[in-house]
Chain A
Amino acid sequence: MATLFDINLFALFGQLLVGLINGSFYALLSLGLAIIFGLLKIINFAQGAMYMLGAFIALLALKYMGINYWFALILVPLTVGLIGILMERFLIRPIANEDNLYSLLLTFGLALIIQGVFTHAFGSSGLSYPVPEALKGGTKLPFMYLPNYRAWIIIVSVFVCAGTWWMIEKTKLGAYLRAGTENPQLMQAFGINVPLIVTLTFGFGVALAGFAGVMAAPIYSVSPDMGSNILIAVFAIVVIGGMGSIGGAIITGLGMGVVEGLTKYFYPEASNTVIFLVMVIVLLLKPAGLFGKEA
């Protein structure tokens, strides 16, 4: 019976680790959303589409231009960020003065278009992207066999999230950004180009999604609906963490991944719903979210 207990304990650790990997993606995506929301006060419904776009661009760049994973890790976020910048400049800014629900609907429409175009071109069955040679294989842990690439995901995501947090909270650029959030008119009066900051911020938030997309390509199959499947969960995470809270988005993202892993072990039937259940509970107890300020 002892062995049986051990096996179960191992399985639990395994699920927690897989949860942490999923949580890494949640964290990257919700961080991007939170940054955009913080400054623009809009919810970017196309964040999932940008994540999908990141994976597809990486795939196509490898197939047609021979650009490997490591270069893609840098080039793809830049490309996706640029697309985001164009999107903000030419589509979102014209309606910046309208109710921000309209920008939600606009980005929803854009997400439908992008997803539709890729479904049309590649079908929805999913394509595979090879794991980079250097990260193939795995490490035998006492409780499970951990593929190296999955370990890499956790390390890189935590690093990127922490770096972003540091940049926003501790640097001068971040200070501008936060000030722009609090009082754009005053910033403008100080001679700071607020519209430019807004555009760049949007680009950065979207680039994070593109980055997550490249990270995801080798382990999830690259398919047009990969973004829409994860997006709603990420929305719930943003609500739980407190809309616009940078640290909240990161911690909640990783945390919810772990909670999902726990649920997969103890009560797998609820693993899809647990994030939303947590959201309901948080809304009842703390309507502004765990790390949010009361609006």
Chain B
Amino acid sequence: MKKTNRTLLSAVVSGAIAATIACSAQATTDGQVKLGILADMGGTYADICGSGCVIAAEMAIEDFGGNVLGKPIEMVSADSQLKPDVASAIARKWVEDEGVDAIGGLVSSAVSGAVSKVNADSKNITLISGSASNTFTTKTCSPYNVHWTYNVVALANGTVKPMVQAGKKKWFFITADYSFGHALEGMASKVINENGGEVLGNVRAPLGTTDFSSYILQAQASGADVVALANAGNDTVNALKAAAEFGLTEQMDVAGLLVFTPNAQAMDPATAGGMRLTSGFYWDMDDETRQWSKRFEQRHGAIPSMIHAGVYSVTMHYLNAVKAAGTDDTDTVMKTMKATKPNDFFARNATLRPDGRMVHDMLYVEIKKKDERKDKNDIYKIIKVIPGDEAYSPMLPQCNFS
């Protein structure tokens, strides 16, 4: 009696196992487009790509018409908490278990790296709008990476080069201690050395540091002309605050290498005014940007950062490509995306290169001083437009996925 029971049980079990092992997870080509947006809902980067990134993607889907390939476009979103393991687990669940076709948003290079690894294996598209590291189109390039908005090369070329050429030769770095900060510091150092400057030293501060006083003291002791902040978000705001508190801003130049509009708004105009930096977008550039930004502001309650605008732009480009290709098959969609030139209020003179890098005009801007500002949203004046080819480095042959 007992024996038959057990045999029966094992037969059922092994049958079921055999059946399930046969079907394994791969990118779905089911004609149902589903987007996943990973953002930082409550952390250091929440202001630059938190709920705003979700709103931007929603706006793109709505403006597109809500349907593609005859079915409503679905969207899911989640909080990466800026942790690569959390991001990786969510991405895996999305693409393997929930039929997500492409993942966007993606602030923090550590998060983007983890998601891009998952997507490279499962052949799903990674639409990076919020991360700065250039690794996604160089060292860890993949046929499924799309890197929008900006990267460390553009920041270094745009912000650091003019300063070195203007005679600021000695630099010290306060760097966010993860892939993004390392990449930015590395790229900026390269530009400094190439233009006859020198790097006197650096100090690495963990992501989310709130007290920069000891780092500021180290910078003060370095004897540099410029202290470069190779960090972003609230890290930049807090570092600048400490720099002002300890009188550093009166002894040396402080250069924020990556400053987003919400963070520029949070800075004291007395210390930040006059600082020059590079941005992929500014809301008040012309009528087109103002029109979109006003709509965004109505829904989000604050003006868009370049990442918000980038998320809208890349989502739109992706949906257009799906429509044009007539399928959600990853390889076909990627091909179509790269074959079409992105062109909207955000992407000016733009191309999506075969390596996944979106090259477009960048802006060299200056943070306005207090008396120059009309209202709280009036923060940058545009010094000049940097053509995409000058801002970004050329494509590497091993990353040419055409």
A and B in contact, CB less than 8 Å: yes
* Known pairs A125-B43, A147-B246; A11 contacts B241 (CB<8 A): no
Contacting residues of chain A (4-41) with chain B, CB-CB under 8 angstroms? 7-8, 10-11, 14-15, 18-19, 21-22
* Known pairs A123-B43, A125-B46, A128-B241; A261 contacts B214 (CB<8 A): yes
Residue B42 at the chain A interface, CB threshold 8 Å:
yes
Tell me if A14 and B44 are in contact (CB < 8 A): no
**Stretch binding the partner chain, chosen from A157-165, A218-226, A237-245, A280-288:** A218-226
Q: Which residue of B lies closest to A146 (CB)?
A: B246
Residue A268 at the chain B interface, CB threshold 8 Å:
yes
> Which chain B residues lie closer than 8 Å to A18 at the CB level?
213-214, 217
> Which chain B residues lie closer than 8 Å to A221 at the CB level?
210, 234, 238
Tell me if A126 and B234 are in contact (CB < 8 A): yes
Inter-chain CA distance A15–B45, complex, in Å, is 29
Most buried by A among B214, B223, B266: B214
Inter-chain CA distance A144–B220, complex, in Å, is 9
Tell me if B247 and A11 are in contact (CB < 8 A): no
Residue-by-residue, is A259-293 near B (CB-CB < 8 Å gives 1, otherwise 0)?
A: 00100100010010000000000000000000000
Inter-chain CA distance A98–B314, complex, in Å, is 59
Smallest beta-carbon distance B305→chain A, Å? 14
Tell me if A125 and B44 are in contact (CB < 8 A): yes
Residue A109 at the chain B interface, CB threshold 8 Å:
no
> Which chain A residues lie closer than 8 Å to B214 at the CB level?
15, 18-19, 261, 264, 271
Q: From the candidates A7, A145, A264, name the one contacting B246 in the complex (CB within 8 A).
A: A145
> Which chain A residues lie closer than 8 Å to B291 at the CB level?
none
Tell me if B42 and A126 are in contact (CB < 8 A): no
Inter-chain CA distance A144–B247, complex, in Å, is 9
Smallest beta-carbon distance B240→chain A, Å? 12
Residue-by-residue, is A148-192 near B (CB-CB < 8 Å gives 1, otherwise 0)?
A: 001000000000000000000000000000000000000000000
Residue B297 at the chain A interface, CB threshold 8 Å:
no
Residue B98 at the chain A interface, CB threshold 8 Å:
no
Q: Number of A residues whose C-beta is below 8 Å from B? A: 31
Inter-chain CA distance A258–B223, complex, in Å, is 25
Residue A132 at the chain B interface, CB threshold 8 Å:
no
Most buried by A among B210, B213, B217, B246: B217
Residue A124 at the chain B interface, CB threshold 8 Å:
yes
Inter-chain CA distance A126–B238, complex, in Å, is 10
Smallest beta-carbon distance B234→chain A, Å? 5
> Which chain A residues lie closer than 8 Å to B50 at the CB level?
123
Residue-by-residue, is B198-220 near A (CB-CB < 8 Å gives 1, otherwise 0)?
A: 00000100001011011001101
Inter-chain CA distance A19–B221, complex, in Å, is 16
Smallest beta-carbon distance B254→chain A, Å? 15
Contacting residues of chain B (239-275) with chain A, CB-CB under 8 angstroms? 241, 245-247, 266
* Known pairs A11-B220, A145-B247, A221-B238; A124 contacts B42 (CB<8 A): yes
Residue B47 at the chain A interface, CB threshold 8 Å:
yes
> Which chain A residues lie closer than 8 Å to B238 at the CB level?
126, 221
> Which chain A residues lie closer than 8 Å to B221 at the CB level?
7-8, 10-11, 14
> Which chain A residues lie closer than 8 Å to B42 at the CB level?
119-120, 123-125
Residue A195 at the chain B interface, CB threshold 8 Å:
no
Q: Number of B residues whose C-beta is below 8 Å from A? A: 27
Q: Which residue of B lies closest to A219 (CB)?
A: B211
> Which chain A residues lie closer than 8 Å to B46 at the CB level?
123-125
Tell me if A15 and B241 are in contact (CB < 8 A): no
Smallest beta-carbon distance B203→chain A, Å? 7
Inter-chain CA distance A19–B214, complex, in Å, is 8
Q: Which residue of A lies closest to B203 (CB)?
A: A268
Tell me if B217 and A11 are in contact (CB < 8 A): yes
* Known pairs A7-B223, A11-B218, A15-B217; A223 contacts B246 (CB<8 A): no
* Known pairs A123-B42, A125-B47, A221-B234; A14 contacts B220 (CB<8 A): yes
Smallest beta-carbon distance B38→chain A, Å? 17
> Which chain A residues lie closer than 8 Å to B41 at the CB level?
123
Contacting residues of chain A (84-102) with chain B, CB-CB under 8 angstroms? none
> Which chain B residues lie closer than 8 Å to A138 at the CB level?
245-247
> Which chain A residues lie closer than 8 Å to B47 at the CB level?
125
Q: Which residue of B lies closest to A221 (CB)?
A: B210
Inter-chain CA distance A15–B219, complex, in Å, is 12
Contacting residues of chain B (43-65) with chain A, CB-CB under 8 angstroms? 43-47, 50
Inter-chain CA distance A21–B210, complex, in Å, is 15
Most buried by A among B41, B213, B234, B266: B213
Smallest beta-carbon distance B250→chain A, Å? 9
Inter-chain CA distance A287–B291, complex, in Å, is 68
Q: From the candidates A11, A125, A220, name the one contacting B234 in the complex (CB within 8 A).
A: A125
Q: A125-B43, A138-B245 are in contact. List 12 more A-B contacts (CB 8 A).
A: A10-B221, A11-B217, A11-B218, A18-B214, A21-B213, A22-B211, A125-B42, A125-B47, A125-B233, A126-B210, A144-B217, A219-B245
CB<8 Å pairs between A and B, sample of 25: A7-B221, A10-B221, A18-B213, A19-B214, A119-B42, A123-B43, A123-B46, A123-B50, A124-B44, A124-B208, A125-B43, A125-B44, A125-B45, A126-B238, A128-B266, A144-B217, A144-B220, A145-B246, A147-B246, A220-B210, A221-B238, A223-B210, A264-B214, A268-B203, A268-B218
The 7 closest A-B pairs by CB, nearest first: A11-B221, A123-B42, A145-B247, A14-B217, A221-B210, A220-B210, A124-B42
Q: Which residues of A contact B (CB under 8 A)?
A: 7-8, 10-11, 14-15, 18-19, 21-22, 119-120, 123-126, 128, 138, 144-145, 147, 150, 219-221, 223, 226, 261, 264, 268, 271
